[in-house]
Chains A and B, each alone.
Chain A
Amino acid sequence: MKSVNTIVDRRDGKLVMAHFYVAFIALAIGGLAGLLQTLVRSGKFELPSWTGYYQILTIHGVVLGLVLTTFFIMGFQLALVSKTSGTLTAKQRKTGWIGFWTMTVGTVMAAVMILMNEASVLYTFYAPLQAHALFYIGLTLVVVGSWIDGAALIMAYASWRKANPGKPSPLLTFMAMVNTLMWIVATIGVAATVLFQLLPWSLGLVERVDVLVSRTLFWYFGHPLVYFWLLPAYMAWYAIVPKIIGGKIFSDSLARMSFILFLLFSIPVGFHHQLTEPGIDPAWKFLQVVLTFLVVIPSLMTAFSLFATFEMYGRSKGATGLFGWLKKLPWGDARFVVPFIGMLAFIPAGAGGLVNASHQLNQVVHNTIWVTGHFHLTLATSVVLTFFGISYWLVPHLTGRVLTKAMNKLAIIQGVVWAIGMTFMSGAMHAAGLLGAPRRSSFSTYGGSEQAMEWIPYQVAQAVGGSILFLGIILMLYIFINLAFFAPKGEEEFPVGEVSDAAEKTPMVFENWKLWIGITVLLILFAYTIPFIDMIENAPIGSKGYKFF
C-alpha cells in the first residue's frame, strides 16, 4: 500500500522540528560535557574552580541520556505516524505541542538546578543523595510531557484504525505504538519513586526514604529506557534502511513479532542492574536474568532480517559468492552508511550486554568503566548514529530542503569520525574496566596505587577518542544547521520500506493490545511482586538526605 502522505504536513513538520531543535542543542551541551570528562580523566587537564567533574557528568548524563533521546524519539515517532497514518488532526497536533512544551519546561527546570550545583546527583539520582526538589519536578515534567506526546501518537493510531477497520496498521505506526506503550508502562516506575518518595522527601514533608525500593523502581524503568532508545533505531533498520538501499523489508510479520517481544520482555528485567546489591534474593535475580536473556531473541531475529535484506538486495543486483552482496550496497549514501556503522557497533554492544546480564559474571564488570564503554556502543553509537542517519533525510524533508552531495559526503565523514573516536574511547573503556577501573569517577591515582597507574594509559586513550568524537559532534551540528536553515530548497524523500513480495499477510493478532499489555503486566507482576513485598516487609529504617556535592 502506498504511504498515506508523500510529504509530511508542514504543520506536523514544525512540531517535529521543535523536538529536534531541543535534541540537537542537548547534543551540543552534552557533547561538550563529555569531552571535558575524558580530558579530566586523562589527568592532563583540570576544570576551572567554579565547576566540578560530577556536575559536568550530571549534565552529560541528563542532557544526552534523557533529553536528547526523549525529544528526538518523540519527534521521530510523530513524523512516522504523520507520514504513514496521515496528517495529525488539529487536536492531536495541539496535544503534541502541549507535550513538547511540558517536556521543555521540565528540561529547563532540571538544567537550572544542575547548573546551580543543587542537583549533582547524576542522571540516575540515587537516594539518599538528595537533589533540590525542582530537579525532581523538572524530571517529572519531562516524563509527563512525553506521556502527552505519547497520547497524541495513540490518538493518531486510533483514528487510523477507526478509518481502516480490520486492517493491520502501517508498520512504522505500529512500531511507534509499541515503543510508546512500553515507555508508558516503564515510566510508571520512575514516576512512582519521584512523586511518592523523592519529591516529598526533598521538600521535607517526609524525613526518610527507602533506598532499595527507590532503586528498584528506578531500574524497573531503567532497562526498558534503553529499549526505548533502541527501538526507534530498529524502526529505521527494519523499515527505512531497506527502502534507502533500494531493497525490501524482509518480513513485516517478523518485524512486528520482534517488537512485541521487546514489549513483553524489556520491563521485567531490572534486577540485572542490581545483581551485586543486598536485600534482593539471588533466586529472584536469576529469574530476571533468564527473562533478560529472552529479550536477546528479538535482537537475534533483527540481525538475521537485516543481513537478509542486504543480501536479497545485493543478489537482485547480480551479486555472487558468499559475501558478494556486500559490495552492491550503496556505500556512497550517508543515509545508509551512517546507520550501518550503528548496526555494526551493536555486535560488540550486544556481546558486552550478555556479559553484564550474566548473574555472577556481573561481578567482573559491575560499575567498572566497562559498563560506560558498553552503553557508549549501544546508545552513543548504534542508536545515536542511526538518529543522525535519520536526521540526514528527515530534517531536510521537514524543512523543504535537500541533502546536497557535499553534505552527504560530510555526513559519511561524520559517521567514520564517530566510528574511529568510539573505537578508541569505548575500546579503552572496556579494557580498563576489565582491569577494574571504576566508572563515574574523576581522575585519581588512588594514593599512587600500582593498579590505578595501569588504568591511566587507557584513560589517555579515552581522551583521544573523546576528542575525536567531539569533532564528530561539531560536524553533526554543522550538518544539522545546514539542513534546517541553509540547504537548497527541494523535496527530500521520506523513505518508507515496502514488504518483500515473498512475505505473507500480516496477522491481525499483533494489533491486539489488550493481549500484549495483559501479558506484559503479568510478566511484570510475576518478576516483581514477591521480591518487592519482601523489600517492603523487611525494610530497614529509611535514609535521611545527603548533599555531598
Chain B
Amino acid sequence: MAQPEIGKKTNTKVEDQSSLKGTLASVFLLGFFLIITWVGVYFLFLDRF
C-alpha cells in the first residue's frame, strides 16, 4: 500500500519534534496512570498477609 510514498520519504524534519509534543504529554499521562495503578495494588499486597 505504501509504494508511491517511497520516493518522498526524505521530508524535512523541521517541525518533527515540536509537532508531537501533545503526543509525548499524552503517553506520559498514560504511563503515570499505569504506574499509579500498579503501585496501588502493590501496596495492597504489602499491607495484606
**Are the C-beta atoms of B22 and A311 separated by less than 8 Å?**
yes
B-contacting 9-mer, from A166-174, A189-197, A261-269:
A166-174
Q: Is the interface of B mostly helix, strand, loop or mixed?
A: helix
Instruction: Give chain A residues whose Cβ lies under 8 Å from the Cβ of B11.
Output: 501-502
Interface residues of A in 182-214 (CB under 8 A from B): none
**Are the C-beta atoms of B1 and A325 separated by less than 8 Å?**
no
Count, chain B residues at interface, CB 8 A: 29
**Are the C-beta atoms of A322 and B2 separated by less than 8 Å?**
no
A312 to B45, CA, bound (A): 42
**Are the C-beta atoms of A351 and B37 separated by less than 8 Å?**
yes
A531 adjacent to chain B (CB < 8 Å): no
Contact of A1 (CB < 8 Å), options: B3, B16, B22, B26 = B3
**Are the C-beta atoms of A171 and B2 separated by less than 8 Å?**
yes
**Are the C-beta atoms of A84 and B33 separated by less than 8 Å?**
no
Interface residues of B in 3-32 (CB under 8 A from A): 3-6, 8-9, 11, 13, 16, 19-23, 25-27, 30
A363 to B23, CA, bound (A): 35
**Are the C-beta atoms of A351 and B2 separated by less than 8 Å?**
no
A482 to B5, CA, bound (A): 39
A311 to B11, CA, bound (A): 18
Contact of A3 (CB < 8 Å), options: B1, B6, B44 = B1
Instruction: Give chain B residues whose Cβ lies under 8 Å from the Cβ of A304.
Output: 23, 27
Contact of A307 (CB < 8 Å), options: B3, B8, B9, B23 = B23
A252 adjacent to chain B (CB < 8 Å): yes
Contact of A361 (CB < 8 Å), options: B4, B6, B23, B45 = B45
| A and B contact pairs by CB, cutoff 8 A, 30 listed | A1-B3, A3-B1, A168-B2, A172-B1, A303-B27, A304-B23, A304-B27, A310-B23, A314-B22, A322-B25, A323-B22, A324-B22, A348-B33, A351-B34, A364-B44, A434-B41, A434-B44, A496-B1, A499-B1, A499-B2, A501-B5, A501-B11, A502-B9, A502-B11, A502-B13, A502-B16, A503-B5, A503-B9, A504-B9, A506-B2
A residues apposed to B, CB below 8 Å: 1, 3, 84, 167-168, 170-172, 252, 300, 303-304, 307-308, 310-312, 314-315, 321-326, 347-348, 350-352, 354-355, 358, 360-361, 363-365, 434, 496, 498-506
B residues apposed to A, CB below 8 Å: 1-6, 8-9, 11, 13, 16, 19-23, 25-27, 30, 33-34, 37-38, 41-42, 44-45, 48
